[in-house]
Amino acid sequence: GASPEVTTPILKLYAEVAQNRSNRLQFDVASPDGVLLFRELSRVVCTYGEGLLARQPPKERIYHHKLKGIAVCFTILKASLSGNYVNLGVFSLYQDPALDSALSVFVRLLLSVEQTELLQYPKLSQAYYPLLDCLAQDHVYFLAGSEPTVFLYVLQSVHDGLTSSDTLVCSACCAVLDSLLSFLFTCLQRRGRLRPRQREACDRMQTSVQPRLLEQLLVTLLNIVVFEDCRHQWSLSRPLLPLILLNEKCFQEVRASIISSQQWGGGQAGMERQSAVSACFDKLMEGVERNLLVRNRDKFTQNLSLFRRDIGDALKAAPAVDLGNEMS
């Protein structure tokens, strides 16, 4: 097989070519150069990916022989998909397989990576999660319509990334979750007015999403907001609202779990803590409607900021509670 000493530098060269820093890649509107560039980048990623998937690198050198190359491929895909130098719609219009082939290889490469490896190697996670964010924003139908195993892998990787100490990774996970859940919620709200493609993607996503995983995502986000030193509160607020709206029953259960956990010490003090925490949750959803309009999102974000401050005061001297264990 090809040696990583040869393939990795070549991939890095293509990654540099794909980067559109300072809009250096500007082609005339009638020029095919952007399409040709994307096709070449797709060809390189597909050729390398197919070759990599056909062989099994030694476990002890998994990063050098496999994961490093995959990370660079993800970087190439992210740069080419978000570079704004090609109208990606032309590929389906003219039945050019370049885009579909690149996305297909991305999925196969991703599934060949162990979940734990995504966060174990920083360069891999810093390439994967921004690419996933790009796909969730601009190619949501691709993710929504993917096989259940793929979609669950993606959601699980996002769940794991939410607790990452890397702000880039955590913020990207929040953005991915927001894009996917907002798409699902909006489709469910407009059920009778969906185009066939939207309905198909919505049905596929509903089939793929397991209620237990959505519950885990909600618990994880609330754990971060309530009990941890949250450095990216705005990012966390964006997926939290659609998650609550999609899981109102679960949200009430988590709320009840947090409130009941404040009984420690008993007596009047315990009752006062419970009352204070309950009031915090009431204020969190105060004035928030069942929609994802910008004004409503901003209202929820403001409420969350106050909620975090108030519940922090209410929980002072209270032991931290793992909501996942509390609810299991």
Report DSSP letters for 68-121, one per residue. Answer: HHHHHHHHHHHHHHSSSSS-THHHHHTT-THHHHHHHHHHHHHHTS-HHHHHHS
> What is the pLDDT at residue 205?
87
pLDDT at 313: 82
Q: CB-based contacts of 300: which residues, under 8 Å, 6+ apart?
A: 237, 240, 241, 285, 288
Answer yes or no: are the C-beta atoms of 146 and 107 closer than 8 Å.
yes
Question: What confidence tens digit (pLDDT) does each residue in 237-272 have?
Answer: 999 999 999 989 999 998 898 888 876 656 677 788
Q: Are 117 and 160 spatial neighbours (Cβ–Cβ below 8 Å)?
A: no
Q: What are the 10-residue block averages of pLDDT along the chain, 328 residues in total? A: 87 94 77 91 96 88 94 97 89 93 97 94 96 95 90 95 92 96 90 83 84 89 84 88 92 88 69 87 93 95 92 67 54
pLDDT at 44: 97
pLDDT of residue 326: 53
Q: What is the pLDDT of residue 271?
A: 82
